[in-house]
Structure 1
Amino acid sequence: MPRSNVIVFVSAGMSAPKKRDHSLARKQLYLNYGALSLATMLQLKGYETFLVHGEHDTPEVTIERLVKTGMLPSSFPLMVSIPSFYALDWARAFCALAKKFDSSCRIIVGGRWVVGPDVAWLRAKLPEADLLVEGLGEPIIESLLTGNPDLRRLSAPTPGFTLNHLLVDGYARYQPSIEASRGCGMKCVFCEERDIPLERLRDADDLAASMALVQEQYHGAEIHPYLQASMFVPGSRWSERLASAVDHQGLRIAWRTETRVDAMTPETVAALAQAGLKVIDLGLETASPTQILAMRKSPDPDRYLRRAADLIEACRKHGVHVKANVLLYAGETQHTLEETTAFLDQHASGIAGVSVGPVIAYGPPKTAEPLLSDWAPRGARPVDPASAEAIGITPMHLSKDFHADDVEAASLALSRRYMDANSYFALKSFSYYPRGYTRAEFDSDVAASDPAQLPFALETAEASEFSCS
C-alpha cells in the first residue's frame, strides 16, 4: 500500500474523563504541547508532521481519521504520546489497532510521566510498542526516525522556538500554549516535578514575540494562551519588561498561567496584568497548617498563608481571576478541611473558582509504594492495593474521616461553595472548552448532565463579573 511521508504524532485520548463522566467533562480539550514541541522541531528541520489528539473519541475513530486523510500508513514511525496514566488503556487499544492495520508500523511511545517511572512495567502493558522513550524527547527526536535511536536521557531546556499550532488537527478548536519555563524542584511530596530543578523564565521580549507569532497562526483572532510553567516565578523587573514588550508588539492578548501561592510576589501582579495576565491557577492546595507541613509545601505555615492572602488580594485588586487548586491530602480530617474552607471564605471576593480533588498515587508500584508508605502513618490507605500494578492509578481513602466516597462528596461541596454556572463557564471557556463554545451550548450540555456530578451550583446570578477581554 502507498505510504505517506508524514510523521504522525498521536496524543492518546481517554475512554472517560479523569474525574467525572458527563457531557461537560467530555467537552474539555487539553493541547499536548509536549508532543507539539516535538512535531514543531521536526517541521523546522524540514519534515512534514501532524499531531492528532484522541480526546474522547475511540481509538477506532482516530485510526480511521488518519487512514482516511492519507496520513497512515507512513514511511516514518508512528509517534504515540501518553500524557497521563488515565490515557494508558486508550493507548494500548490504539497501538493494537495500528499494528493490525499495518503490521510493519514501527510504534514509538513517549510521555515522560508514564514511561519514565518503570519502563519494564509499561512494556508489559504496551506489547505492540516497538520503542519506549524515557524523559524529554527534544534532544533525541530526529534519531528516533532512524534504525539507531539515541535513548539517552538528556537535559532539555525550555525550547526557544514558537510552537506551530497549525500542525494540530483541528487546531482552531484549541487554545494555544507558550512554554515559559520548565521544572519546579520545590520537593512537595505529591508533585511529579518535585526533584526537577526550576529553570529561569524565557526572555520577556522573546515571550512577547512568541505571543505575536501565535496570534498570526490564528489569523489575528482572539486567543487565550496558556503560559506553560510548572511554577511561574516572575520577578518585578521581568514582569515590567514583559508588559513593555507586549505593549511594543501592540498585543491585546489575555493569557493564563499557574504558580504556587508563595512563588509570585504581589508586587509583580500589576505589571503582569498590564501584560495580559487574566487568569491564574493558584496552587494553594490547603490552608491547614497541619496539611501544609504534611505536604512539605512550607516549613512555616503562617508565612505561607500570609503570602497566599497577599497574592490573592493583589490579583483581586488588579483584575486577575484566581482559580484556587485545593488538594484533599492524606490524613485529611473534618478539622483540616474546615481550616481550608475558612481561609477560602475569608478571601472569597478574590477567588473566581476552585478546583478540588483528592491526592492520588500515580505510577506503578515502583513509584507508588514510597508515596503509600509516606501516607500510611497519616491514616491513608489505597482503595484497591492492586491498582498501582494494574493501571498505575491508586485512589485513596484519606483517613477515618474521609473514605473515598466521603472525599468525592466533600470535593463537590467545596467546589459548589465558590462556583456557580457563570463562574465555571467563564473559567473553563477561557482555556479548556473549544474556542467558540457558546453559553447556549454549555447550558444544553448542563441539561444533559447528571446534576449530582456537576462541580458548581446550578443556581446562578443574573450576570457574571468575569470578563475575558
Structure 2
Amino acid sequence: MPRSPAIQFVSAGLSQPKKRDHVLARRQLYLNYGALTLASQLNLNGHGVHLRHGEHEDPDTFAERLFADGRLPSAWPLMVSMPSFYALSWTQAFCRAVKRRDPKANIVIGGRWVTGPDPAWLHGLIPDADVVVPGFGEPRIWGILGLPSPQGTGDGEAPPAFGLHHRLVDGFERFQPSIETSRGCGMGCAFCEERGIPLSRLRDPLRLAELLAETVAEYGNGEIHPYFQSSFFLPNPRWATELQRTIRDRDLAVPWRCETRVDGLKPETVAALAASGLKVIDLGLETASPTQVRAMRKARDPERYLRAASQLLEACAANGVWVKVNVLLYAGETAETLAESQAWLDQHAHAIKGVSVGPVVAFGPPGLAGPFLRDLAAHGARPVDEGSAASTGVTQLHLSPRIDQAEAERLSLELSRRYMDADAYFDLKSFSYYPRGYTRGDFDRDVADCDAERLPFRVAPYSGATPCQPA
C-alpha cells in the first residue's frame, strides 16, 4: 500500500463523554485548536496536512476509516494529540489498531497537559506510541518531523502570529472556529493547571480583527460563532474600545465567546466588548462561599471577589451578554457552603443564562496529582480509587465525609437545573459546541431519547426543590 505524502494529525476522541454519557453529550464537538495550530504552521510552510477528530467514534473503526480514505499509511509520523486524560483509553485502542494495520507506523503523542507531567508514565500506558512529546509543540514539531525550523518559530508561551486554517480539519464546516487571543493565567488557583503559567499579552486588536475577517472568509461568509480562546481573557478598557472601533470599521458583525475570571474583566469594558460582538462569557466563579473561595485559593479577599462578580454580572445583563457561570463543588463542601453559593446565585439569577456545575477532579499521574490530592485531603476529601492516578490520570473524589462522589453528582445536577432550562442549555451549547446546523428540532428529539434525570437542565417546569441539602 502506498504511503500518503500528507502529514496526518488526529485529535484523540473519547470512549465516553467527560461528565455524563447521554446522546446530547455525544453531539458536542470540541475543536482541537492546539493540534490545528501545528497543522496550520506546517501548511503555511508548504506541507500537505490533514486533521481529523476522533470525537466519540469507536477507535478501531476510526483507524480503519483513515486507512480506507488513504490518509494512512503515511510517509510521515502520525501525530496524535491528546487534549485531556479522559482520552487515554481511546488513544490506547487507536494506537493498537494503527499498529495492527501498519507495524511500521511511527506514532507521536502530543498534548501538553497530558504529556508534560510524566512522559515515561504515559509511554508505559501507550506502548504502541513511538514518541511522547512534552510541552508546547510549536518549537518541537520541526525536529520531530526531521524538518529545518523556519525563522520566527515561537516558543509556545504566546499565540503564534498566524491564525488557524480551519479548512485543514476534516468536516470543518461542522465545527465553530477558534481564534487564540492569549495563553497562560498565573492566578494561582489550587485546581488550575495554569496556576503558575504567566498570562501572555492579548493579541493586538487590529490583528485580532484581521484574523476574524480571515475566519469569516474561510467559512464562506456563513454564520459563525468564534471562540476567542484564552484561559483568562483580560482586556482593559482601551483595548476593548480599540477592538470595537476596528471591528466597526471592517463591518464584522460576528458574535463571539470568551472565558474569564469574575474579578478580571472590569464592568466598564463590557459595553465596548458587546459592541464588538461579545455574546457569551464563560465565567469562572467556582463558588460563592467565602470558605471555599479561600480553600480553592481563588482570592485572598472573598468579599471583594464576590463584589466584583456581582458588578460584572450586572454589566453583562445591561449589555445583552449571556453569562454561563462555572461552579466547582470542592473538597470540604458542606450543606452550609453550598447554601452560600446557592443564595448568591439566586440573588443574581436574572443575570445568568446558565450554569455548569461539577465536582473537583484531580488530573495527572501520581507525581503531579499527589500534592494536589494531599491538599484536597487536608480539606476532607479522599480519592474514590487510590490507584486511578497511576492507571488513568483521572482521580474522582469523595468531597467530604458528608458528600461522597454519588452525592456530589446529584447535587451538581440539581444545582444546575435550578438555574438552567432546556432553552438556555440549547442556546449555550448550540452557540459553540453543537455541530453547525444542529437545530432545535434535532435537540428536542435527542432530549426525548435521554433520561431526564441525567440531564443538567430542566425539562419540566422547576419544582422549587432546594438542592443544597445532602440526601
Normalised by the size of structure 2, how large is the TM-score?
0.96
The equivalent of 1:330 in structure 2 is: 331
The equivalent of 2:433 in structure 1 is: 432
The equivalent of 1:402 in structure 2 is: 403
Distance 2:301 2:244 in 1: 33
Distance 1:452 1:416, change over 3 A: same
Counterpart mapping for 1:68-79 below 5 A: 68-79=68-79
- 1:48 matched to 2:48? The reply is yes
The equivalent of 1:447 in structure 2 is: 448
Distance 1:362 1:383 in 2: 13
Asked if structure 2 preserves the Cα contact closer than 8 Å seen for 1:139 and 1:156, the reply is no
- 1:122 matched to 2:116? The reply is no
Asked if structure 2 preserves the Cα contact closer than 8 Å seen for 1:262 and 1:308, the reply is yes
Distance 1:227 1:148 in 2: 31
The equivalent of 2:469 in structure 1 is: none
Distance 1:377 1:50 in 2: 47
Distance 1:29 1:299 in 2: 36
The equivalent of 1:292 in structure 2 is: 293
Deviation at 1:297, TM superposition (A): 0.5
Distance 1:39 1:3 in 2: 19
Asked if structure 1 preserves the Cα contact closer than 8 Å seen for 2:357 and 2:412, the reply is yes
Deviation at 1:71, TM superposition (A): 1.0
SS at structure 1 position matched to 2:260? strand
Distance 1:430 1:405 in 2: 30
Could you list the runs of 5+ residues in structure 2 that have no partner in the other structure?
463-471
Deviation at 1:148, TM superposition (A): 10
Counterpart mapping for 1:261-276 below 5 A: 261-276=262-277
User: Which AA in structure 1 matches 2:102?
Assistant: D
Distance 1:395 1:322 in 2: 28
User: Which AA in structure 1 matches 2:397?
Assistant: M
Per-residue Cα deviation, 1:73-98 (whole angstroms, up to 9, x for no partner): 11010000000010011001111111
Deviation at 1:156, TM superposition (A): 3.6
The equivalent of 2:146 in structure 1 is: 146
Deviation at 1:375, TM superposition (A): 1.1
The equivalent of 1:234 in structure 2 is: 235
- 1:189 matched to 2:190? The reply is yes
Deviation at 1:460, TM superposition (A): 5.7
The equivalent of 1:132 in structure 2 is: 132
Asked if structure 2 preserves the Cα contact closer than 8 Å seen for 1:138 and 1:156, the reply is no
Per-residue Cα deviation, 1:353-393 (whole angstroms, up to 9, x for no partner): 00000010001111111011111121100011111111110
The equivalent of 2:158 in structure 1 is: 157
Deviation at 1:50, TM superposition (A): 0.3
User: Which AA in structure 2 matches 1:43?
Assistant: N
Counterpart mapping for 1:80-99 below 5 A: 80-99=80-99
Per-residue Cα deviation, 1:129-158 (whole angstroms, up to 9, x for no partner): 111110110112122112999xxx954421
User: Which AA in structure 1 matches 2:5?
Assistant: N
Distance 2:61 2:67 in 1: 10
Deviation at 1:61, TM superposition (A): 2.1
User: Which AA in structure 2 matches 1:347?
Assistant: H
The equivalent of 1:217 in structure 2 is: 218
SS at structure 2 position matched to 1:279? strand
Could you list the runs of 5+ residues in structure 1 that have no partner in the other structure?
462-469
Distance 1:126 1:304 in 2: 43
Asked if structure 1 preserves the Cα contact closer than 8 Å seen for 2:137 and 2:156, the reply is no
SS at structure 2 position matched to 1:24? helix
Asked if structure 1 preserves the Cα contact closer than 8 Å seen for 2:157 and 2:183, the reply is no
Distance 1:172 1:347 in 2: 36
Percent of aligned pairs sharing the same letter? 59
Distance 1:179 1:154, change over 3 A: closer
Deviation at 1:401, TM superposition (A): 2.1
SS at structure 1 position matched to 2:8? strand
Distance 1:112 1:358 in 2: 23
Per-residue Cα deviation, 1:181-219 (whole angstroms, up to 9, x for no partner): 000011100000011100010000100111110010000
Distance 1:246 1:148, change over 3 A: closer
- 1:321 matched to 2:322? The reply is yes
Q: Which 4+ residue blocks in structure 1 deviate beyond 4 angstroms?
A: none
**Count of equivalent residues:** 459
Distance 1:414 1:356, change over 3 A: same
The equivalent of 1:113 in structure 2 is: 113
User: Which AA in structure 2 matches 1:181?
Assistant: S
Per-residue Cα deviation, 1:18-44 (whole angstroms, up to 9, x for no partner): 101001000000000000000000000
Counterpart mapping for 1:2-41 below 5 A: 2-41=2-41
Normalised by the size of structure 1, how large is the TM-score?
0.96
Distance 1:457 1:154, change over 3 A: same
Distance 1:142 1:119 in 2: 19
User: Which AA in structure 2 matches 1:14?
Assistant: L
Deviation at 1:340, TM superposition (A): 0.5
SS at structure 1 position matched to 2:52? strand
Indicate the larger mover: 221-230 or 244-253: 244-253
Deviation at 1:459, TM superposition (A): 2.2
The equivalent of 2:465 in structure 1 is: none
